[in-house]
Amino acid sequence: MSKFESTIKQLNYPQQVVFEKMSDLRNLEKVRHKVPQDKVKDFDFGEDWVSLSVAPVGSIKLKIVERDEPKCIKFETERSIFPFTFWVQLLPLTEETCKMKLTLKAELNPFIKKLVEKPIESGLEKVADAITLIRF
């Protein structure tokens, strides 16, 4: 099992507020215009799922499979070249701030891992950075 983690990011919003916004993926509409069109194609979402196409990984569809309010939102792939789980962890720092970490776990053979390791690490960090820019 391969595990990838973002660096821990601080969000200047209360943990509960961040959890509520992130656990309804329809809120992605507010950041759709910030998604780089040259990197992400076919970006679509509903309350519990998100679908997109990213080079070099291809088409991905994730579905929320668990909400542990207000600490964690867990996703699993419904469509991907390799199955993985992804979760957003939130912990309070103060009443008005929280910290966040993104984690991805996947069963990857050594050859595939070498191909996707850097893009996954980079992508995970870019997603974490993008989340810090959201106004919750």
Annotated domain spans of the chain: 2-132
| Higher per-residue pLDDT: 105 or 40 | 105
Do the Cβ atoms of 32 and 41 come closer than 8 Å?
Answer: no
56 has pLDDT over 70: no
Which tokens go with 38? Answer: 């040259």
**46-71: average pLDDT:** 91
pLDDT band at 46 (very low <50, low <70, confident <90, very high): very high
Which neighbouring-strand residues pair with 104?
4, 86
Pick the CATH number of 2-132 from 3.40.50.2300, 3.30.530.20, 3.40.190.10, 3.60.20.10: 3.30.530.20
User: What's the whole-model pTM score?
Assistant: 0.88
- The H-assigned helical ranges of 1-136 are 15-22, 110-132
98 has pLDDT over 70: yes
Tell me the Ramachandran region of residue 82: left when phi exceeds 0, alpha when psi lies from -120 to 50, beta otherwise: beta
